[in-house]
Amino acid sequence: MDLFLIKHKLTNDFPLAQEATAPHPQQAAVMVILYPKLKTTHILMTKRSMHLKYHAGEISFPGGMFEEQDEDLLVTAIRETKEELNFQVAPENVLGRLPVVTTRLGFEITPFVSVLPSAPEYAPAVNEVEEVLEMPFTSLLSTQQRDVCNKPPEEGVIYWFQHHRIWGASAKILKQIGRLSSF
């Protein structure tokens, strides 16, 4: 996985656009974090705490719901990453904004992609994050399978990391990022 190619495609094909965001009860943003580690591109995801009311135990990107005090969805993604991982993504490391992913319940998730020069140092908020997963990205992409539980099945995919199943909106976002790594 070539981070240079991903950076190039993000800045040319999915540039950041600062847009005012009107409050909407089903609008969210996530931060995709890519970085080199041991000469391999890694991606960081989290396993949500089991006691959470929504999506407990699911594998997701750091992020959450847009709040009225957020200027835009990028601010939401940066704020939520800080809250969940106690790690501040510098705005200059956020290189692109991928297309919105809509969930089957009608939530609109805007993924922002940051490329860091090295592995981040984080301290997960135990009330929100059960586990932080640092995954070799190419290996993760190679586990892609069709999600036969999804309706219609041709739209959905799942990924596996160790015993963790990545599905739904997170898998849709991974699929989008995977396309950035191909010519």
CATH of the domain at 50: 3.90.79.10
Is 15 a member of any domain? yes
**Alpha carbons 158 and 150: distance in angstroms, whole number:** 10
Task: Summarize pLDDT for 56-103 with one digit per residue, the tens.
Answer: 568 999 999 999 888 899 999 999 999 999 999 999 999 999 999 988
Give the pLDDT confidence score for residue 55 in this predicted structure. 61
Residue 19 near residue 72 (C-beta atoms within 8 A): yes
Is 130 a member of any domain? yes
Q: How far apart are the first and last CA of the chain?
A: 12
More confident position, 20 or 45: 45
Is 117 a member of any domain? yes
Residue 181 near residue 69 (C-beta atoms within 8 A): no
- According to DSSP, the residues that pair with 78 across neighbouring strands are none
Is 81 a member of any domain? yes
Is 104 a member of any domain? yes
Is 18 a member of any domain? yes
Is 161 a member of any domain? no
Helix, strand, coil percentages (3-state) for the chain, rounded to 5, are 25, 30, 45
**How many domains does the structure of the chain reveal?**
1
Angle in degrees, 0-180, between the axes of helices 3-13 and 168-180, rounded to the nearest 10: 100
Residue 86, domain extent:
3-140+169-180
pTM above 0.75, yes or no: yes
Length of the chain in residues, anyone?
Answer: 183
More confident position, 67 or 182: 67
pLDDT band at 1 (very low <50, low <70, confident <90, very high): low
Is 152 a member of any domain? no
Residue 33 near residue 173 (C-beta atoms within 8 A): no
Task: Summarize pLDDT for 118-175 with one digit per residue, the tens.
Answer: 999 999 998 889 899 999 998 888 888 877 665 555 568 889 999 888 989 999 999 9
Residue 161 near residue 147 (C-beta atoms within 8 A): no
Give the pLDDT confidence score for residue 152 in this predicted structure. 54
